[in-house]
């Protein structure tokens, strides 16, 4: 038995953040029913990346909507809305990520739904919250990253801002929504009352940066300055960063320079042994490390550093990652099947329960494939 067996979740959300939250609830055992438009459904069905499709839908849709059911309904049609309201009255959780005011205009805002089902946990995802001048701006991952300072933390000083190379805020915000929903369900077990859980991409972005942002708030009012060489964290001193070797790249985290001088047999680091200058002279130190590491292979340096318990690692790409025993031991992959039998290899839920991993074989649902079974 999974922890959320018997919990019914209605997923009205589209694209990534909201569906990501519903996906994690499904992984934990909930019955998740997507409520989609009759024509086209979730817009993620047509959001194709790397030209990969499965039948008429994008591969991405199946990645983020595996193990769900799908019903179709025109929420602006009175009959369809009444059928959905009957479904809401029997649900435990409802999720949507429409812009502020949309669900209220449709007639499915929180106060209306709460009257239908006081035990319901109502979860919403927005870009920037529900008030303020940005409330109706498009809440898209890259745009929110750009507004929150995140791209100025990656890349080297002097370079243009560098955003995260994937939808980091959608995924993080979706997980924040899961945390809130689970807390509300736990409270409901005591009080019998549901509640409203609200998350937004902007707040998730700020929360992700809390360490550096707090330093900024209590500092001199200036943005953290990236190091000019091998920048990996704008607030950490040398040698923290990624360095090229003869056959690839190696990451080195927090390490005393004096210890590094000894292990790397690098006399040029001798003037920088004082730990007090590891941050103020990080570029000078990193320049020495960079030039020295270029002389040997990644494995050569790992053989010196790892036995001494220095925090270091080879920089792997996906093909090389898949060949490692460490990745195999995680058992992070699973095969799912679509309604037409197409097999897709994807990742599993990262949570383990009672010593076991959480997997399911069901792919994303065909549009409206469960309408009659659920609403008929």
CA separation for the pair 10, 28 (Å, rounded) = 15
Active site residue 80: no
| Neighbour count for residue 107 (Cβ, 10 Å) | 14
Question: What length does the chain have?
Answer: 376
Q: Do residues 310 and 260 touch, judged by C-beta distance below 8 A?
A: yes
Active-site pick, 77, 170, 207, 247: 170
Alpha-helical regions (H) of the chain? 17-27, 59-65, 78-89, 102-106, 110-116, 141-147, 168-191, 201-208, 210-217, 257-264, 282-293, 298-305, 318-322, 325-330, 371-375
User: Is the peptide bond prior to 239 cis by the omega test (within 30 degrees of 0)?
Assistant: yes
User: H/E/C letters for each residue in 151-184?
Assistant: HHHCCCCCCCCCCCCCCHHHHHHHHHHHHHHHHH
Active site residues: 170
């Amino acid at each position: 038995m999974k922890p959320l067996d018997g919990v019914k979740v209605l997923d009205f959300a589209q694209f990534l953040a909201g569906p990501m939250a519903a996906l994690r609830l499904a992984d934990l055992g909930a019955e998740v029913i997507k409520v989609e438009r009759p024509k086209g459904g979730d817009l993620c069905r047509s959001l194709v990346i790397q030209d990969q499709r499965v039948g008429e839908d994008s591969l991405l849709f199946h990645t983020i909507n595996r193990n769900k059911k799908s019903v179709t309904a025109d929420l602006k049609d009175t009959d369809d809305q009444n059928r959905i309201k009957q479904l809401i009255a029997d649900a435990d959780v409802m999720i949507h990520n429409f812009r502020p005011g949309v669900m209220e205009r449709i007639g499915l805002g929180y106060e209306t739904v709460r009257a239908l089902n006081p035990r319901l946990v109502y979860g919403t995802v927005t870009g920037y919250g529900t008030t303020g001048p940005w409330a109706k701006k498009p809440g898209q991952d890259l745009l929110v990253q750009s507004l929150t300072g995140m791209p100025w933390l990656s890349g080297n000083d002097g370079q243009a801002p560098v955003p995260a190379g994937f939808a980091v805020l959608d995924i993080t915000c979706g997980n924040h929504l899961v945390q809130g929903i689970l807390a509300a369900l736990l409270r409901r077990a005591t009080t019998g009352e549901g509640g409203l859980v609200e998350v937004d991409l902007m707040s998730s972005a700020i929360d992700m940066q809390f360490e550096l942002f707090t330093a900024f708030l209590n500092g001199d009012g200036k943005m953290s300055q990236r190091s000019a060489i091998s920048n990996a964290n704008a607030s950490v001193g040398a040698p923290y960063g990624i360095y090229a070797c003869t056959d690839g790249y190696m990451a080195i985290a927090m390490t005393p320079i004096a210890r590094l001088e000894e292990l790397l047999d690098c006399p040029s680091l001798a003037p920088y042994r004082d730990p007090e200058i590891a941050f103020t002279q990080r570029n000078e130190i990193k320049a020495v490390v960079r030039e020295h590491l270029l002389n040997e292979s990644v494995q050569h340096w790992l053989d010196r550093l790892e036995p001494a318990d220095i925090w270091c690692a080879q920089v792997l790409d996906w093909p090389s990652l898949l060949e490692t025993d460490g990745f195999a031991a995680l058992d992070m992959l699973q095969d799912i099947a679509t309604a037409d039998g197409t097999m897709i290899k994807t990742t599993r839920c990262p949570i383990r329960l009672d010593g076991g991993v959480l997997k399911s074989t069901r792919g994303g649902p065909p549009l409206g494939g469960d309408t009659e079974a659920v609403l008929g």
